Amino acid sequence: MDELELLKKDWKKQEVNLPHYKATELYPMLLKKSSSIVKWIFIISVIELGLGVVLNVFTMDEKFWRDLENLHLKTAIIILYGVSYLITFVFIYYFYKNFKSISATDSASQLMRNILKTRKVVKYYILYILISAGITSLLVFIFVFMYPPAELHVNPDKINWYKVVALGVIITSIILLVIWGIYSLLYGILLKKLKQNYRELKKLEL
């Protein structure tokens, strides 16, 4: 008898001792787990928004707005912040809506659809965060060189804008990479668990 057959026999012996669940028992467990995961996605997004508001309150002092005025960015930043809060609230609403939908789901197929929908919304949210952070970072970087503070000792008329834009893209890319890493850690684990639940549900449907 070869090594593979021995391994199969050993696995069958262990399999007897493992717990076996019927589909009717597994579904409520997967529903509860999925609902809990989506609830945590909602909670994390609310905490994230709250921290953002608190940080803005403490950092947006008189000097902050004066610096923005000197960079001719005050109006643009106000609009960006307003749009950002509005879009974030919309995403939080969808996270909450998905949580309520999953909690009230009574069929495996519907739960599978809700899991896919939640994963898609979270991915769109992360993409939005990356795009908005990229636009803001690049905008501030370029305007710092267009209207440089006195301490930089930079003459805008003698600037090589190709180099400035290239440097801005590099720095922005590094910032986005860090942000992507943070969000991958925050939401990636939860999305992975949702994917596992989806696979288990797919097995039940077969």
For the chain, 206 residues long, the average pLDDT of each consecutive 10-residue run is 49 45 69 92 93 86 88 90 92 93 83 92 94 91 85 76 88 93 91 90 73
Distance from C-alpha of 49 to C-alpha of 103, rounded to nearest angstrom: 24
pTM beyond 0.85: the answer is no
Residue 42: partners with Cβ closer than 8 Å, 6 or more residues away: 92, 95, 96, 98, 99
Looking at residue 118, its pLDDT comes to 93
- Confidence (pLDDT) at 172: 92
Answer whether 87's CB lies under 8 Å from 173's CB: no
Asked if residues 172 and 138 have their Cβ atoms less than 8 Å apart, the reply is: yes
